[in-house]
Amino acid sequence: MAWVLLVIAGLLEAGWAIGLKYTEGFTKPVASVLTIAGIITSMYLLALAARTLPIGTAYAVWVGIGTFGTIVLGITVLGEPVNAGRIFFLILLMAAIIGLKLTAQ
C-alpha cells in the first residue's frame, strides 16, 4: 500500500508543479487553491508512505515520478520542446525509479 500512496503522491507532485504555471504567481484564486491542495495532499501521502519505506527511497521515487510527470505534461500540455536528449534522460530517470523500487527493502 505504501508504494501505491507514493505513486499517487508523485503524480500529484507533477500536477501541482504544472499548476504553478496556471497560478500566475498565485494571482489566480482557483488555480492557486488547487495547486496548494495538491502540494499538501502530495506531501501528506509521501509522509504516509515514508512510515514503512526508507525515506531516501521514498523521497527519490516521489521526486522522480514528479519530475518525469512534469516533463511529460510540459511537453504534451504546455508545448515544451521535445528532443532525443530529453527522451533519453527521461528513460534513464524511469530506469532509476524502477531500480530504486526493485532494490527497496
Question: What's the pLDDT tens digit per position in 6-62?
Answer: 999 999 999 999 999 999 999 999 999 999 999 999 999 999 999 999 999 999 999
The total number of structural domains in the chain stands at 1
Which residue in 86, 38, 93 sits closest to 60, CA to CA? 93
How many CB atoms sit inside 10 A of residue 25's CB? 7
Q: What's the pTM?
A: 0.89
Biggest CA–CA distance in the chain, Å, is 44
> How many residues comprise the chain?
105
pLDDT band with cut points at 50, 70 and 90 for residue 105 = low
- Residue 13 CB burial class (10 angstroms; 0-12, 13-18, ≥19): buried
Q: Domain range for residue 42?
A: 2-103
> Residues with Cβ < 8 Å from 75, sequence gap 6 or more?
81, 82, 86
Cβ atoms of 58 and 50 closer than 8 Å:
yes
